Chain A
Amino acid sequence: MRGSKLSLSRIVMHVFLIAMSILFIVPLWSILSISLSREVDIASLGYRLIPIHLDFQAYRFILQNPITIINAYKVTIIISCIGTFLSVLMISMCAYALSRSDFKYRGVITFYLFFTMLFSGGLVPYYILMTKYLHLQNTYLALILPLLGSVWYIFLMRTFFQQLPDSLVESATIDGAGEWRIYFRIILPLSTPVLATVGLLQLLNYWNAWFQALLFIDKPQMYPLQYLLQVMMNNIQEILKNMQEGVSVDAGQLAAIPSESTRMAMCILAIGPMLFIFPFFQKYFAKGLTVGSVKG
């Protein structure tokens, strides 16, 4: 619907959209600005949209005491890569089986999985299971396992697999291919869009995860990025001390550490990679939405 370009309503609309865009950009911009401000300016004059004095002291501080952020990046990258890979593998295997109309146990297993979307046992038994029975406190598994099998993604993939023609499997079977070969040689190569979609979604989930760390991690070396960020907000002094491990710090020096700007700088370093991946996401997301947007 394209109306005349200069009508009042169109101008109002454009102004509105621009104003809205500003509302979306300003918060991110603020973080960047504070991270590049001089600490004394922040203490005396507060946060600014444009730093009074552009100063990289916060970033320099982090890079000179990098152990904290390196650990956080390490943990996050490890759980993201392993988690995403295992997750896509497990989900695609199951989704494919459930998409085959000749699979005898399809109905039972579908309901079995689906039911977990309706009812949950709750936080308490889950927590007791993970800590008391599985002893997963302070382990990588505690960060990887909880996000591994999302039933929602199973249904999303299943919808995709169902759209592959039955004749594909039939003709391959007639040609004498075993199920194994059919899955790996025929189905998977055709499924890259949905595998990529779920893969990217899971990667995002793992990268942004903090709840598992909140529950199960209390060793600072094992904090993933987002959880480190959370701890920094509440307990900046503790983190700053850890960063300077090995360097004796007296009270006066501690005060001189740029705490406010360092917080924000850490935040930028935590988001950074995601904003680069974001454009790729946009492309796949639009496709993925149409692939499996609908039914379970």
Chain B
Amino acid sequence: MAINHTKKFLKHFKKNRFLLALTLPMVIYTFIFSYTPMFGAMVAFKRYQFDKGILGSEWVGLSNFKFLFTSPDLIRIVRNTLGYNALFIISTLLASVAIALMLYELTSKKLLKAYQSIMFFPHFLSWVVVAYMAYAFLNPRSGMLNQWFANFGLDTIDWYNHTTAWVYIFPLAHLWKVIGMNAIMYYAALMGIDPTYYEAAKIDGANKWKIVTKISLPFLYPLMTILVILAIGHIFSADFGLFYQLPMNSPTIYSTTDVIDTYVFRALMQLGNIGMSSSADLTKSVLGFVLIVTTNAIVRKINPERSLF
């Protein structure tokens, strides 16, 4: 019996060996850089000592997690992560759809291309560059925002030490960077609407507002739903570049700028606190896993094309 199985396996292997070889680099790569760290995540349950390595360090059970969950930091970083991502999802949805609808109204192809290019180029910049641009406005001494404030007789603001300001700065910066890509996606969807719908509506005497709300928007609902649900699946992950580069790592504003990912990073790189860093990261990964699987299952029910699996 065993011999038959082995024969069969070898036969299949021989037949597929070339294709298998094609996948080998990627498989090995993924094993080293994705799966090994998954095993290494056990470090969250250990007291890591550099000279002993991950395997040699002693187990301490859940004490890292206990420390994390009783720390005031946790509430702050979870609140910021979820809060900002929620803000981002809503603002991106509203703004992108609005822009897409406007672009759809344009008659000039040249103008359309121009607007799309202008809104799309931030996608090609790194967050470091965007942080520079923000700095041109927010530099407390030379920045243009404070200059304009001073010109109008208002008090200048010490932006990089002002906690509340960032609740507005982050969504705006995020929107600035992503709206081009998102608007193009919705615009592409709008292009798929059968123009006879609009003709019929015009004949029936519908005004612009009615046309938008009764034809264009409903057509976009599926795409909107799916993108929102998929975004919710990643609500525990923050765009590290945005939250790390823009505030220039200013400690005074951590209460509104620190998210899970920046916390994990700082705990590891600046504080050397392996326990806090790894326990926070593992918690986030597990929660994220549950959320992603759930949201993808929901999306699959709606439109299997769009789900990941």
Q: B-contacting residues of A (Cβ < 8 Å)?
A: 1-3, 5, 9-10, 13, 16-17, 20-21, 23-25, 27-28, 30-31, 34, 42-43, 46-49, 90-91, 93-94, 96-98, 100, 103-105, 109, 112-114, 116-129, 132-133, 145-146, 148-149, 151, 154, 178-180, 183, 204, 208-211, 214-215, 226-227, 229-230, 233-234, 260, 263-264, 267, 270-271, 274-275, 278-279, 281-282, 286, 289-290, 293-296
Contact = CB atoms under 8 A, between A and B. Distances in A.
Given A120-B37, A148-B29, A47 B136 contact: yes
A125 B37 contact: yes
Interface in B268-309: 268-269, 274, 277-278, 281-282, 284-286, 288-289, 292-293, 304-309
A27 B102 contact: no
Contacts of B121: 24, 28, 275, 278
A179 B18 contact: yes
Contacts of B161: none
Nearest to A46: B142
Minimum-distance CB pairs A-B, first 8: A125-B40, A121-B37, A122-B281, A27-B133, A208-B126, A179-B18, A94-B26, A46-B142
Nearest to B32: A129
B43 A125 contact: yes
Interface stretch (B70-78, B80-88, B112-120, B251-259): B112-120
A250 B34 CA distance: 49
B172 to A, nearest CB: 9
Contacts, number: 259
Given A105-B16, A112-B30, A46 B125 contact: no
Interface string B54-92: 100000000000000000000000000000000000000
Given A30-B133, A122-B264, A179-B19, A215 B144 contact: no
Given A23-B176, A271-B125, A97 B133 contact: no
A112 B20 CA distance: 14
15 contacts: A21-B115, A24-B122, A30-B136, A93-B26, A97-B20, A98-B23, A109-B27, A118-B292, A120-B37, A122-B44, A124-B268, A126-B40, A148-B29, A151-B30, A264-B132
